Structure 1
Amino acid sequence: MLLCRVSAVSRTFASWGRGSLRGGGLLHRALSFSSSRCHDVGSGEGSAQPAETGSARALYRDTVLLPRTEFPMKLTGQKLLDRELEIQQKCGFADLYSWQRERKAKKEFCLHDGPPYANGDPHVGHALNKILKDIRNRFEMLRGRQVHYIPGWDCHGLPIELKALGELATSGLDPLQIRHKARAFAEQAIARQKAAFQRWGVMADWDQCYYTYDGAYEAAQLKVFQEMHNKGLIYQDYKPVFWSPSSRTALAEAELEYNPEHVSRAIYATFPLITLPPKITSEAAGLENVSVLVWTTQPWTIPANQAVCYMPNAQYSVVRRADNSQLLLVATERTASMAALLGTELESVGLFTGSQLEGGICKHPTITDKEVPLLPANHVTMAKGTGLVHTAPAHGMDDYSVASHFKLSVECMVDADGKFTDLAGPELQNLSVMTKGTDKGTAKILISMLQECGALVKEEQCIHSYPYDWRTKQPVVIRPSKQWFVNTASLKDKAKEVLQKVRILPESARGSLLAMLDRRTYWCISRQRSWGVPIPVFYHRETGEALINKYSVSHIGKLFKENGSDCWWELPIETLLPAEVLKKSKAGPATDYVRGEDVLDIWFDSGASWAAVLEESDSRADVYVEGKDQIGGWFQSSLLTSVAVRNKAPYKSLVVHGFAISEKGEKMSKSLGNVVDPDAVISGGKDPSMPAYGADVLRWWVAESNVFSEVQIGPTVLNAARDNISKLRNTLKFLLGNLQGFDPRVHAVDPKEMHYIDQYMLHLLREYSIKVTDAYSEYDAGRVIRVLQAFIARDLSSFYFSIIKDRLYCDPKDSLGRRSCQTVLEEILDGVTRSIAPILPHLAEEVHLHAPGHDEGTLFKSGWIKSSSVWRRPGLEEAVEGACAIRDSFLSSIPGKNPAQFDLTVAIEPGLLFELMESLQEEPTSTSSQLAELMMVARVNLTSELPRDLPPDAQLSHGTFLINLEGGVIREDSAYSIAVVPTAAARCPRCRRYTAKSADCLCPRCQTVVSQAQ
């Protein structure tokens, strides 16, 4: 049996890349010993012996191969900034994107850039987004893919228009003047943002970006508009929209922010029931003076009331107030709450179902002779109010749906400035419906009117969530106007279907995206502004009928492509509507028409970017990467336009990241003084707490953060990032220092000839490269950093580096053992450098410039980590991990002591474990075997049983190690015993190992090295 097992081990060692080995916890325990035990065997750290005299050190100093490199341990201040800029220049950061676009590649990776808004300076939100994208792009480029990434800017819209105009009165400027000022402002903002993105090391062709104000882009956008219009998905209608009086324009849902502290004067008002519902007439004795009770937080909408709605399947009660005998109709479910609110008992005198209320008619409380019906509606709820809903079709989306179904009038009494028109009557005309304050203005007048007619039951202050214009921070109103809409209701089902095939990270964002789609029944895409893409529609001077068709829109698209959209105002109407277009449109002369004045919503602008930027009309981007605010913005507008035109999503994956916030978890704002400027992070700020960190620290912050949640930034986080990079530099400096004089093209050792621990490190390096590659593929740069830090701390610093220093420093320069070690160090340096390159391109290129064996050129042109399947050698893992398990027992028996001062006897019964240890030490006793090196002891005795004549001070330990070879075909739980005794050997004055015969002479190894050097 023994021969069979021995031959099996031999076969295992002889077969490369075959078999499956277990990963053991023993190794992890063995590698977790304290750094005090991992003393520098080349320097004598941790030694209990007195150090050699100065003359002894000087005598052998030049024979010890200590690390040497010009790579600086630390770069700070202006030196750091100068070095980063020098590397960007020397390593061709500006040309890298173009280079990789020109090379041949089997696969393309397309990350479509969501356009940042061109209305201000770069901020940390930009840094989070752009660096996150760049990390992925650099990773994909390194592993051989051709990256398609064209940065863009969203250039139109109200915020830019307002900032460009500043204090100027818009009434004195024509549209072209406004547009020229807005464009100039956007161009300045783009220049500042672009310079910042380049300084952060973001890879792109910065001369080939896309801008939504470019004529070619606008033409592509109009083509999308035309195709949607041809399919009947874009239409004009008069219906309620979110209207911003402060901006004088319609807004989309995505342009709103909700203020949870908005204050309104809520009222409970009565609508006298003048015609009882037919289904309750027989039960109506004593119910002649019933009033329907409604509740609203917007009293200004009462004059526009057209109906009162009820829930058909709910139960309703007629109740009598105990304090004044008034009869009120309310939902039965709300009776208790109403009694508490009114401070009186409510006696039920009649009970009905909602459906029995059909046909009832009420008297409008403030408008004489106006009657309003009771109508069923599904939007009525019992969460608040009375269960009966005041319905003003002009000022509510649900209200409008009711009006459309029952053909009610949609009468608007509020103008574009948010003021009542003459239709509201002389008492209200010209009053602002959203007067600030809750005890004056419009609300007060309306409440007085309700009191005068006896309709007011109660008023109260109500703090609730209310929509605000996200640009002006002022409340909006819902009012009807003639606008252009996208019929999203007809697109939603298909949009949901294609989303099922889209990978979304994190997956939890999928629910939010679907919920946003559900809430959007239509999308208002027209804006009453000048700075934007004109909606290509003409109106007949007399009838107001719209002229828009595939011929007219196609012609305008060509004009925009050639001249830009300013030509909408610059060219005469005859050029915009030439004879051939009019003929195909079967329309009269051009002079009969006027051009429309509305522009397209900027979400339609940016949502059509797939059509303007992606290379093929039917292509999809591999991924869109944006903040969570784009769930209701760019992600959705891109999806809807693409589904409308192409019946598919524009992206294969979505990555949704959080927002940058302060270290205290607060939203950044100038008023709180907690805004972190990315330029100050890189170059240093006025505050002493913000030194010059450089671009790589900013990039490390992005990579290390959990970007799927809110991302904190501040001095604490940035200092930690800087310290982590400093530790990484220390490791890289050690690697570079020990590769001085080594050229991998000349000196590299074949893996089969390496020491087993060196081969084992290649095995660990391969595992490391697989983990890092997987993490990058999952957009998890934070995991990359954790894997990197664990590899350096556990596998390198605490384990391999401490073991190999003696061989590196004291073996002959060209010895197989030293070159074997250097070969592995070069592979580790190369693998680690490439693995950090997407995150820290400046540091990676700096290391590459110092690393041996490279021709001139950038690391980014030389590919991803070059791990080999040959490195995964069956049996190797068991041999080294078995030795580590034994070392674990050994180190536990001498806590706090220097292992180099001990001799170790390892006793293993004949079997697999013994054979594995023999592969590390062929002779029974050795001071220089691979097993002795791994144990870091003076001498190792390998035997089948412990000797009987052990000295009294010997420390004995026992343990077992499970061997699992050939995928479980060979398994053996092997026992071992160890004996630890202080060594009798003297400390060598050169290598400081306890392997010399006496304190005044060199050990045999050092004698050979020194004599050869002489």
Structure 2
Amino acid sequence: MLLRRLGALGGGAARCGLSLRRVAPLRPALSFTQSRGRAAAPPGDEAQPAGNHRHTVLLPRTSFPMKLAGQELLERELQIQRECAFDQLYAWQRERKAKKEFCLHDGPPYANGDAHVGHALNKILKDVHNRFEMLRGRKVHYVPGWDCHGLPIELKALGELQTKELTPLQIRQKAREFAEGAIARQRAAFQRWGVMADWQNCYYTFNGQYEAAQLRVFEDMHSKVTSHTMTALAEAELEYNTEHVSKAVYATFPLTTLPSKLASRALGKVSVLVWTTQPWTIPANQAVCFMPKTYCYPWSDLEGGVCQHPTISGKEVPLLPANHVTMAKGTGLVHTAPAHGMEDYSVATHFNLPVECIVDEEGRFTELAGAELQGQCVLKEGTATVISMLRAAAALVKEEECVHSYPYDWRSKKPVVIRASKQWFINTANLKDKAKEVLQKVRVMPESARASLLAMLDRRTYWCISRQRSWGVPIPVFYHKETRQPLINKHTVAHIAKVFAEKGSDSWWEEPLETLLPPDVLKKSKAGAVTDYERGEDVLDIWFDSGTSWAAVLQEADPRADVYVEGKDQLGGWFQSSLLTSVAVRNKAPYKALVVHGFAVSEKREKMSKSLGNVVDPDIVIHGGPDLAASPAYGADVLRWWVAESNVFSEVQIGPKALNSARESVNKLRNTLRFLLGNLQGFDPRTQTVDSKDMYYIDQYLLHLLREYSIKVTDAYNEFDCGRVIRLLQAFITRDLSNFYFSIIKDRLYCDAENSVGRRSCQTALEEILDGVTRSIAPILPHLAEEVYQHAPGHDDGETLFRSGWIKSSSVWRKPGLEEAVEGACAIRDSFLSSIPGRNAVEYDLTIAVEPGLLFELMESLQEEPTSTSSQLTELMMASRTTLTSALPRDLPSDTITNNGSFLINLEGGVIREDSAYTIAAVPISLSRCPRCRRYTSDTPECLCPRCQTVHGQPQ
């Protein structure tokens, strides 16, 4: 039964096809120490036949270059992009019929500078997956976008000007020009990297249609979620300087009303002593806080006390308990100014204290601080004046310098003043539970990132969505001139959204109020005359800008992306703002999956910094630097390989070592592909392919391995694990191809007749391997893949790989018994090779003795005749002649080398299972070396072997 089943595999009694390791003259013999041939020569390193037989050998021939470097490499990549119409690929695949659509929604990079290596990591990772999905036959939806508003862009635009006396419209014009310039440079870089998209139809957060969609989301959230104005502290992007030096003071607050439990004691005049590193905040004091159960008097003894403000006559402030007070620094009694500290603000919220801001936007005291302080800079002369006021009131106990941590602006690197202001807020407390619920249905890769996402969501108690700038989307609100009540509803917002869609958000400043607030809208809003109102001056937070991109870009009945792919910094940024806006409006996440990658760092794992000199510019990576010896031109595919090879779920290192390694890997792959192309010269798979059942077992076996490889590669791409794709590729090429298959089939390829079944069987397998390997790496190396495809047989000029689909592996390649037959023979070869260390297998005559049973039947399917120099078994053994028998002869020569072992056969899921023993006897071959194929298969020296005699007279 087993023989009949194996017979269906094809091959039967194998014709000649011996594959030997040919050694060039005067070159020492090589030994093979594994079943998959550790000592195989690299592709292209071929020994040449002697004399006039050379022209009869079918050595590899191809015009595919072995190596491309420098300007030649760069020009070839650009040529590939042109010839293969990279710029038209996205539109082509959008127009074709497809059963499924795949949507990767692009998180918008910030339009404030040139493309950097973090962009490369992100954009290339996205493109690899998009190209994979497209090759699989899905219709990819990927619209690149840019985040165009915000303070950094406004400041950079203003920094180029000599004067800052500009109107909002002038500021916006300059900011727009700056953003457009950055977008143009970034877009060009992304295109050079080979990123597939319709680059003429991207999305921009300053586009009128986008802004209109954003306002519609804003209005929907305003009507459904608590979104309102209130006074609060709006934290900007801050970093903390631990070496900041402040003037600190100890100051007294006299008790005017003793706590009830202390009133009966004769304490005389009593004051509480506070310590603060920000004495300028004392004029804004509203309370003195203490920590419960910490002092010599229990906290309840202090409750109810009232103090006299030290610098404001007649103002009294209460003593209040607060858990943020500690004994680590100061006196244990904390001066509290709710308008200038987050913890202080929390106390005011809890006890309903006034929040009076006495500092303007420029960091100067307002008239509310009093005539003595008005106009003074709080961090400079204002501090000195307050200390003088404390001294004059006899409230100053001590003045000192204090080194401590203080918030700085991350851009200007200057200390900031925290102040309360009127802002628009979204109360995220009402959204968080639902957001957590919908996140349970979202796939997160890596799963470990889910905890960080939830933790950051937990920490957000509210979301301040208003900013006091000119460059942004105006909050569509009008204020009554007298009552200051806001006018905002579905009628006003819908009308403004329509205006923005047609004219852009500049119309908020350009158009007369009557255009923004026409009579019909006023009537629907039940409001007064248009002259009663003035437009608001705040703009929306840029996280709201980008967070509503799902509504503006995914224009479908139910806009929901298959995946969002961004760096880990977006766990508290775009991932979160997108989630909150979508949950608020639709009760669902805007994404089905999240892929969270790490940051690009130096090879020393340092954050990239110009001051450290470790910044890697992707443009220099591709095109080279001024010193090409130090900064060579690697091209786009090497940059893409670096991204794919890295473990993107952690920090990704880049530098000369990583890039040189990537280049070497790409060149090795190129060399393997060149070997495949060279051996397919003259082969047309459309007419010369050998049917699977007639192919040699070793060729069928490689197709079986190719199918396993393609399945694993597909799974790795599905998991966004490009690093696993590359590991699988390198293992397949090194172990299965170079060290195993190539070393076995070279003789059959080079020395068999050109149109023989054995050679065409091998070429059939090689063409499938070339096609499968090329397609498997195409998402990562699109330029190389298309270049190979241009040289590969079987398609017409002008065809491109990316328009022809994914790996075409067939279930026919998985056949019962095939794997066991070949791997059983390889196990026997292991024993043989281990017994002749340092020698060449071709120098031996081999006898294999196998007990009758399954293993014998498998080996017999590879060699039906007892002894052969041309069987498939001999080819796999890499010996010169093989005899298959059930028992070794007794009269073996004295120089015979023997070895034995066993092979476990497991068929049909364990239904057929047998552990079979075998013995190998190897003796030096008695035949002569053929001058053409250089195998020991000739009867006499200098005479061709029977196979070569047959082929020699045929035209080559």
Q: How does 1:160-309 map to 2 (within 5 A)?
A: 160-168=153-161, 171-242=164-235, 251=236, 255-265=237-247, 271-279=253-261, 292=272, 294-309=274-289
Q: Distance in 2 between matches of 1:664 and 1:448?
A: 51
Cross-structure match for 2:40: 38
Cross-structure match for 1:519: 459
CA contact (8 A) 2:896 2:922 kept: yes
User: By how many angstroms is 1:263 displaced?
Assistant: 4.5
The one-letter amino acid of 2:71's match is Q
The one-letter amino acid of 1:485's match is F
* Aligned-partner SS, 1:309: strand
1:317 to 277, 295, 298: 295
Q: Pick closer, same or farther for the CA change 1:384–1:779 going to 2, 3 Å.
A: farther
Q: Pick closer, same or farther for the CA change 1:971–1:408 going to 2, 3 Å.
A: same
The one-letter amino acid of 1:236's match is T
Q: Distance in 2 between matches of 1:456 and 1:905?
A: 104
2:828 to 871, 876, 886: 886
Count of matched residue positions in the alignment of Structure 1 and Structure 2: 933
The one-letter amino acid of 1:391's match is T
The one-letter amino acid of 2:915's match is D
CA contact (8 A) 1:266 1:462 kept: no
Cross-structure match for 1:564: 504
Q: Pick closer, same or farther for the CA change 1:265–1:975 going to 2, 3 Å.
A: farther
Cross-structure match for 1:786: 727
Q: Pick closer, same or farther for the CA change 1:592–1:810 going to 2, 3 Å.
A: same
Q: Pick closer, same or farther for the CA change 1:827–1:370 going to 2, 3 Å.
A: same
The one-letter amino acid of 1:619's match is P
1:361 aligned onto 2:306: yes
CA contact (8 A) 1:13 1:875 kept: no
Root-mean-square deviation (CA, aligned residues, Å) is 2.5
CA contact (8 A) 2:225 2:584 kept: no
1:952 aligned onto 2:954: no
CA contact (8 A) 1:704 1:781 kept: yes
Q: Distance in 1 between matches of 2:45 and 2:356?
A: 91
CA contact (8 A) 1:848 1:858 kept: yes
Q: How does 1:127-138 map to 2 (within 5 A)?
A: 127-138=120-131
1:993 aligned onto 2:938: no
Q: Distance in 1 between matches of 2:37 and 2:902?
A: 25
Q: How does 1:472-871 map to 2 (within 5 A)?
A: 472-688=412-628, 689-855=630-796, 856-871=798-813
The one-letter amino acid of 2:425's match is F
Q: How does 1:919-934 map to 2 (within 5 A)?
A: 919-934=861-876
Higher relative CO (Cα under 8 Å, sequence separation at least 6) belongs to: 2
User: By how many angstroms is 1:1012 displaced?
Assistant: 3.7
User: By how many angstroms is 1:659 displaced?
Assistant: 1.7
Task: Return 764-773 or 360-369, whichever deviates more.
Answer: 360-369
Q: Distance in 2 between matches of 1:258 and 1:474?
A: 10
Cross-structure match for 2:947: 1005
User: By how many angstroms is 1:272 displaced?
Assistant: 4.9
1:806-852 Cα distance to aligned partner (Å, 9 max, x none): 00000111111111111110011000000010000000000000000
User: By how many angstroms is 1:476 displaced?
Assistant: 2.8
Cross-structure match for 2:363: 418
1:280-318 Cα distance to aligned partner (Å, 9 max, x none): 667xx5766765555544343333222233444xx3222
Q: Distance in 1 between matches of 2:322 and 2:155?
A: 41
1:907 aligned onto 2:849: yes
Q: How does 1:345-356 map to 2 (within 5 A)?
A: 350=297, 352=298, 354-356=299-301
* Aligned-partner SS, 1:316: coil
Q: Pick closer, same or farther for the CA change 1:427–1:758 going to 2, 3 Å.
A: same
* Aligned-partner SS, 2:419: strand
User: By how many angstroms is 1:549 displaced?
Assistant: 1.4
Cross-structure match for 1:24: none
Cross-structure match for 1:981: 923
Q: Which TM-score applies when normalising by structure 2?
A: 0.93
The one-letter amino acid of 1:988's match is C
Q: Distance in 2 between matches of 1:772 and 1:957?
A: 38
Q: Distance in 1 between matches of 2:564 and 2:32?
A: 44
Task: Return 780-789 or 270-279, whichever deviates more.
Answer: 270-279
The one-letter amino acid of 1:86's match is Q
1:141 to 108, 115, 134: 134
Cross-structure match for 1:155: 148
The one-letter amino acid of 2:710's match is S
1:585-641 Cα distance to aligned partner (Å, 9 max, x none): 222221222222221111111111110000225221011111122222211111111
Q: Distance in 2 between matches of 1:383 and 1:772?
A: 57
Question: Taking every aligned residue pair, what percent have the same amino acid on both sides?
Answer: 74
CA contact (8 A) 1:41 1:806 kept: no
1:954-986 Cα distance to aligned partner (Å, 9 max, x none): 222121211111111122122211112111111
Q: Distance in 2 between matches of 1:562 and 1:61?
A: 76
Cross-structure match for 1:113: 106
Q: Pick closer, same or farther for the CA change 1:43–1:901 going to 2, 3 Å.
A: farther
Q: Distance in 1 between matches of 2:241 and 2:140?
A: 42
CA contact (8 A) 2:129 2:717 kept: yes
Q: Pick closer, same or farther for the CA change 1:759–1:432 going to 2, 3 Å.
A: same
1:191-247 Cα distance to aligned partner (Å, 9 max, x none): 1111111111100011111111111111101101111112243211122222xxxxx
The one-letter amino acid of 1:417's match is E
2:815 to 863, 869, 873: 873
Cross-structure match for 1:372: 317
Q: Distance in 2 between matches of 1:900 and 1:492?
A: 72
Q: Which residues of structure 2 form unaligned runs of 5+?
A: 11-30
1:80-124 Cα distance to aligned partner (Å, 9 max, x none): 111111111111101100010011111111000111111211111
CA contact (8 A) 2:32 2:38 kept: no
1:518-574 Cα distance to aligned partner (Å, 9 max, x none): 222222212221111111111222332222111111111111111111111111111
CA contact (8 A) 2:843 2:880 kept: yes
Q: Distance in 2 between matches of 1:356 and 1:932?
A: 99
1:636-687 Cα distance to aligned partner (Å, 9 max, x none): 1111111111111111111111222222322222233322221111111113
Q: How does 1:9-28 map to 2 (within 5 A)?
A: 10-11=4-5, 14=8
1:408 aligned onto 2:353: yes
Q: Which residues of structure 1 form unaligned runs of 5+?
A: 1-6, 17-28, 46-50, 243-250, 319-349, 436-440
The one-letter amino acid of 1:888's match is D
Task: Return 285-294 or 914-923, whichever deviates more.
Answer: 285-294
CA contact (8 A) 2:148 2:179 kept: yes
User: By how many angstroms is 1:456 displaced?
Assistant: 4.1
* Aligned-partner SS, 1:643: helix
User: By how many angstroms is 1:31 displaced?
Assistant: 8.3
CA contact (8 A) 2:36 2:735 kept: no
Q: Pick closer, same or farther for the CA change 1:268–1:964 going to 2, 3 Å.
A: farther
User: By how many angstroms is 1:61 displaced?
Assistant: 1.0
CA contact (8 A) 1:525 1:601 kept: yes
The one-letter amino acid of 1:598's match is D
